[in-house]
Amino acid sequence: MGGKSEVPLLDKNGKRIDGRDLEELRPVKMEVGVLKKADGSAYVEWGGNKVIAAVYGPREVLPKHLANPYKAVLKYRYNMAPFSVDDRKRPGPDRRSIEISKISREALERVVMLEYFPNTMIDVFVEILQADAGTRCAALTAASLALADAGIPMRDVVAACAAGKIDGKVVLDLKKEEDNYGEADMPIAISPRTGEIVLFQMDGLMTKDEYMKALRLAVEGARKINEIQKETLKDKYKITNLSGGDNNE
Ligand code: CDP
């Protein structure tokens, strides 16, 4: 992220390096219930990102002294696999993953009904298997699906998306080269029902008008992501036999 890039990110027709229009999302695929042992799980492919989320709980708080008699403790671990990026990533937590875990947990604390489960812990793990920018958004989107899959009561399903600026233009959903060589990147997450912004970050520079446009784009992007989340959950949990009669499938 820095000044105007030496590498052209838009072609003469205004198309992006992967052929997308300025306001176009990368292809997104979602699935829930992908892990047997977890209480809830989800897999999200978002452009070149591949992310898996697992939820355990509400369960016993460990270490015990962290227990809160008024509400559940929510934990969130964002982790990048060593093979998820071009250069091998050193395994284990680093400043970046600790920051992403913190802001993602805070986003989910706005919607998860923690007050229903005092003296318990809800663990959310997200593993980035393949990274191509926007992994914190893909991770939070997957985590929210996994929480829903675990049947944990929530006010809403959090959806995330980034917008930013490349070659002087405001664009939706930056990929790696656009994030690296572009001028700004602004990941956000929303609670779609209320419209509340539950995560907001920005890297780089934009004018006020560009910022307003990027915010609108990112919120619209997150709403599209939320539609896919809802379809994914509906598909998984749809009742195929309402008659209650014989079903020999
Ligand atoms: O992934 P996200 O956009 O949320 O976070 P970022 O810190 O802006 O990182 C952007 C991208 O840089 C990641 O998605 C990875 O593709 C890449 N990256 C990397 O190659 N090695 C790292 N240690 C961290 C990030």
Mean per-residue pLDDT over the chain, rounded:
95
Q: Are residues 200 and 155 in contact, defined by beta-carbon separation less than 8 angstroms?
A: no
pLDDT at 57: 96
Q: State the average pLDDT over residues 44-58.
A: 98
Residue 228 inside a domain? The answer is yes
Q: How confident is the model at residue 21 (pLDDT cuts 50, 70, 90)?
A: very high
Does residue 18 form part of some domain? no
Any domain includes 22: no
Task: Evaluate whether residue 3 is within a structural domain.
Answer: no
What is the domain count for the chain?
A: 1
What is the predicted pLDDT for the residue at 248? Answer: 45
Average pLDDT estimate for 93-112: 98
With respect to residue 249, please indicate whether it lies within any of the assigned structural domains.
Answer: no
Copy the structure tokens of residue 108.
């989910």
φ and ψ at 122, to 5 degrees? -115, 120
Query: For residues 56-79, b (16+ Cβ closer than 10 Å) or e, as one string?
Result: bbbeebeeeeeeeeebbbbbbbbb
Decide: helix, strand or coil at residue 243. coil
Which pair of tokens denotes residue 244? 């209650």
Q: Which domain holds residue 224?
A: 28-243
CA distance 116 to 100: 26
Expressed in angstroms and rounded, the spacing between residue 134 Cα and the centre of ligand 1 is 7
CATH number (domain holding residue 160)? 3.30.230.70
**How many angstroms from the chain centroid is the CA of residue 137?**
3
Ligand 1 atom nearest to 85, measured from its CA: 20
Q: How far is ligand 1, taken at its centre, from the CA of residue 11, in Å? A: 24
- pLDDT one-digit tens code per residue, 26-35: 999 999 999 9
Cα(132) to ligand 1 centroid in Å equals: 7
Q: Is the pLDDT of residue 247 over 50?
A: no
Ligand 1 centroid – CA 46 distance (Å): 14
The DSSP 8-state label assigned to residue 17 in this structure reads T
User: Does some domain include residue 204?
Assistant: yes
> How many A from CA of 16 to the centre of ligand 1?
19
Nearest CA to ligand 1 atom 17: 133
**For ligand 1, mutation pick of 176, 177, 201 (most atoms within 8 Å of CB):** 176
Residue 1 has pLDDT above 80, yes or no: no
For residue 160, is it within any domain?
yes
Counting from 1 in the atom list of ligand 1, the atom nearest the Cα of 131 is 16
Q: Is residue 225 part of a domain?
A: yes
Q: Is the pLDDT of residue 147 over 90?
A: yes
pTM equals 0.95
